[in-house]
Structure 1
Amino acid sequence: MNHTNKVLWGEGLFLRPQHFQRQDRYHESRLHQTANALHPYAWGVNKIQIDQDALANNSLRLLDMSVIFQDGEIYKAPGDDDLPDAVNLTDIPQSQQTITYYAALPSLKGFGGNFSSSANANKSTRYAQANRETPDLFTEAAKAEMTYLKKAVRLVSELDPRDSFVCFPLVRLRRASTSGFELDPNFIPPSLSISSAPILFLKLRRLMDALQAKVNALYGHHREPSKNVVEFRSGDISSFWLLHTTSSAYANLTHYLNNPLLHPERLYEQLLALTGALMTFSKTYTLSDLPGYQHQDPGPCFAKLDIIIRELLDTVISSRYFAIALSELKPSYHHGMLDSGKIDDKTAFYLAVSADMPAIELIDIVPLRFKTGAPEDVDKFVLAAMPGVKLVHSPQVPAALP
């Protein structure tokens, strides 16, 4: 029996330990249900530190661990609780290349048996006794010895039964190339914050670098008629919206990079929004390809979403123009290479010229002073004072040109 009903306090009540136990249980359950209603993923790792040297010597030992279990139980060690016993990894079968260990807390039994004294430790109980000298917080009274309950958390492998525990995956190991074990770099445990999963924080930073590079590349495709002002033409609509998408996403993700204590599920929501926006520019993926958030094992869904975003960021928006770079071979002689795969008999060439003179004069001078043609013909045009390929002023620039 594990009821969490409110205790009736009335006159003449004969107090028993059960009254206080059920009162605590009622308030703990109420708090947990409220927190779970506000955020269904308010459990997981808050902080974990693993002894890397011990791991190389076939021993899994934790140095620091702070977690919240699915039933709302808070565990923090060392300090309030004791760290789990180290695990000897030499007993793992050689055929097992990877193995996952769970943070396991015995389930609360409804008919007692949830406590064991320090002298009679029982691995099946949820709590262990801890006696402490406790000071008076408000008066000058002497210290008094009080008995507390410490959570008896242990590390249980995926090979062992876990039905009697409240548990979640904490760490995944893989065999090292030399000897011993090492942490699986792709594993992300259920986490309460972005900072509690270092690989997730690293993925976020790398994604923002990719977004920044994309934004810079898109800015480079547009003209700046005046300082700090980017000009868009009607033919730049796709480029404009891609720039808008990447810039907006970068701004939103900056908040998560600067506030890594935020929950990973909130970050996942932002990444989904970015992915959906990028799908506007490519049919490589469909909306059905979007993975759902899995708090129990968030690593695969974050990894898949990261792959989709990076592939979509590499989408090349087709345009009806391309630039031909001109190199100055010698004073006043400029040479440009033509790609036969990009041009045909319908291709039109435009030469952009700017000078410190009135536009009317520039329009008259350019056809007279510019000699355009194949490299072997230009010298002949100059020596013979021939015009070369005819240049005609275009009073209106095509919309496709930047």
Structure 2
Amino acid sequence: MQVSKRSVHWEEGGFVTPHHFQASERYLQDRLRETEDWLIPNCYGVSSIRFDQSALMTGVLKILECKIRLKEGTTIEIPEESQIIEISVDEIRKVMGQDRRVRVWIGVPHLKEGQKNIYDSDNRDARYEMRMLAAIDENTGEKEDIAFRFLRPSLQPDGSSKGLELLPVCQLKLSDKYEGQFEIEPSYVPPLLDLNSWGWLKESVKWIHDRIEASIETESQSLAGVNLTFESSIEGRGIRILRLNHLSSGWTTLQSMLNGRMVHPQNIYTELCRLLGQLSIFGETRKPPKLRSYDHDDIGPIFQSVLSEIRKLLEGIGLPEYERHPFVFLQKDGKLKRPYRVSLDPKWEASTYSLYLGLETTGVPHNEVDEIIRKTNYKMGETSRVSELFRLGLPGLVVKPLDRIPRELGGIKNTTLFSIERSGSEWIEVQRTHDLGFWFENRSLKLGEGRKLVLEHPQTKKDVPLEFALYVTHDRGGTRS
């Protein structure tokens, strides 16, 4: 009979030993774990994790921080509740297969009922180690040393290790660039509790979100001011209305989920399947493909499948003639704490791409927006350097008003456009990190709603809210002059 399945019978005058308290604690813990498993499907996996990339280059896989729940319900928090754990790649190399890949697991020894579970020289595979820590009486403030139990997690290069609760946390592969070195394979996804904990997966979903956003921008502008009816005499308008409806529905759902604090991958997978079903009417077969059911232990392949199908459909819809990427900022107490920045795609370095800065506002003529930016004290350059460029007065990137609006950007409203000169030493720095940032003199601006900055009109002295965005066009016919 499993003792933890029974609640302790407390009675007046009973002789109490540590066994009573341990049995009571195990009962409560097991009831809580069972309730979580019954009510919340797939409630195990990685909630957050951070590896030491520099240590991996020297031959050690090390977890600096993590929050993980194992299948059995055990939670691991590093460094709050356990020490930083590591494993040598020499141990990993011993179990490497012909595919030059090794899956690495985090493990915790099982609780052995009826046996000793505290680590010592005679019990090296114990679940816990004991440490003395000072505890403060909350009423009197008096201090006393108390013995606490700490879990003893470890990294294992073999998922068949006996006597351990195990969960895969990453997959290593031999690097193609650096002979003999291992690197973490981003496309392998362990069981997750939060999409945000695995960068490759989140960025893959974010790409779909951004691609849909760009399509919505183009479709909505072409339909702005149009009487929305499917019985239109204009060929294809009904299809475009339906397409915009499905794109908008999928985008708003993805936006709310991607901006959430925690997103379980099963929820986002369900929404991606729904989006695929809605867009399938625009594919060649007019019907959705067969997809695998959600598999919490095989997240990577199922996501790759649905994301690949969505990409195909989006390619069929067609690319917009431009991409729009808003600048974002971090604020604290109403002040800009980091540069107003945007990430660049490396492919935009090609001469067939052109980059433009767009300042979006309403009710202000283009020439006045031009004057506002010219008379504002700012610097534009590589994000990590731009504040120093500003402080030292060093040259940054130059933006110039456009004499002629490019055809691809002709339909954009309420936006003043500037060309970004891609030359000089600072552009080389931007190419190195693919990160472009603005830095402003703090007294020159205020922070507005959303992504907007509020600059002062040099003549009227009124506040003008501006949203900064990077516009990218691509000449598919050849090189731009």
TM-score computed with the length of structure 2 as normaliser: 0.60
Which residues of 2 match residues 3-402 of structure 1 at below 5 A?
3=3, 4-89=5-90, 92-93=93-94, 95=98, 97-117=100-120, 120=121, 122-141=123-142, 143-158=143-158, 161-177=160-176, 178-179=178-179, 180-219=181-220, 222=223, 224-225=225-226, 233-234=231-232, 236-282=237-283, 284=285, 289-316=290-317
Distance 2:77 2:37 in 1: 20
User: Does the 8 A contact of 2:110 with 2:164 survive in 1?
Assistant: yes
**Counterpart of 1:385?**
none
Q: C-alpha distance in 1, partners of 2:20/2:282?
A: 64
Assess, with a 3 A threshold, how the Cα gap between structure 1 residues 82 and 316 changes in structure 2: closer, same or farther: closer
How many residues get paired? 310
Q: State the Cα deviation string for residues 214-257 of structure 1 (Å, max 9, x = none).
A: 223433554745xxx65654453333222111110001111112
Deviation string, structure 1 residues 261-293 (Cα, Å, up to 9, x no partner) = 222221111111111212233355865621221
Question: Counterpart amino acid of 2:211?
Answer: A
The 1:24–1:223 alpha-carbon spacing in structure 2 relative to 1, beyond 3 Å, is closer
Contact 1:104-1:155 within 8 A present in 2 as well: yes
Once residues 202 and 269 of structure 1 are traced to their aligned partners in structure 2, the CA distance between those partners, rounded to angstroms, is 17
Task: Say which SS state the counterpart of residue 195 (structure 2) adopts.
Answer: coil
Contact 1:58 1:90 in 2 (8 A): no
Distance in structure 2 (CA, Å) of the matches to 1:15 and 1:304: 58
- Distance in 2 separating the partners of 1:63 and 1:121: 29
Structure 1 residues 223, 46: CA separation in 2 closer, same or farther (over 3 Å shift)? closer
Paired AA for residue 145 in structure 2: E
CA contact (8 A) 2:118 2:130 kept: yes
Output the amino acid matched with 2:49. I
CA shift digits 1:30-87 (9 cap, x unpaired) = 1111122221222211221111111112211121122111122121111221222433
Q: Which runs of 5+ in 2 are unaligned?
A: 319-481
**Larger fraction in strand:** 2
Q: Which amino acid aligns with 1:171?
A: C
Name segments (4+ residues, structure 1) moved above 6 Å: none
Measured after TM superposition, the shift of residue 301 of structure 1 is: 0.9
TM-superposed deviation, 1:305: 1.0
Partner residue, 1:373: none
Tell whether the 8 Å contact from 2:229 to 2:238 is kept in structure 1 after alignment: no
- Which one-letter code corresponds to 1:267 in the other structure? I
| 1:97 and 1:175 in contact (8 A); partners too | yes
Shift in CA distance, 76/59, structure 1 to aligned 2, threshold 3 Å: same
Whichever residue aligns with residue 290 of structure 2, its letter is D
Q: Does the 8 Å CA contact 2:205/2:307 hold for their aligned counterparts?
A: no
Provide the C-alpha distance between the structure 2 equivalents of 1:60 and 1:221, rounded to a whole number of angstroms: 52
Aligned to 2:365: none
Deviation at 1:123, TM superposition (A): 4.2
Q: 2:247 & 2:82 partners in 1: Cα distance?
A: 46
Question: Is 1:47–1:66's contact at 8 Å kept on the other side of the alignment?
Answer: yes
For residues 223 and 194 of structure 1, what CA distance do their matches in structure 2 show?
A: 35
Paired residue type of 1:115: I
Match of 2:275, SS?
A: helix
Larger radius of gyration: 1
SS in 2 for 1:171: strand
Give the secondary structure class of the aligned counterpart of 1:149. Answer: strand
Unpaired runs of 5+ residues, structure 1, are: 318-402
CA contact (8 A) 1:222 1:231 kept: no
Which amino acid in structure 1 is aligned with residue 141 of structure 2? E
User: Shift of the alpha carbon at 1:197?
Assistant: 1.3
Determine the C-alpha separation between the residues in 2 that align with 1:255 and 1:32: 29
**Most deviating of 32-41 and 229-238:** 229-238
Give the whole-Å Cα distance in 2 for the aligned partners of 1:316 and 1:191: 32
Alignment partners' CA distance in 2, 1:230 and 1:92: 63
1:154 Cα offset (Å) = 0.6
The Cα of 1:169 is off from its aligned counterpart by 0.8
- With normalisation by structure 1, the TM-score equals 0.71
Q: Is the 8 A contact 1:173 1:183 kept in 2?
A: yes
| Distance (Å, rounded) in 2 between the aligned partners of 1:299 and 1:66 | 20
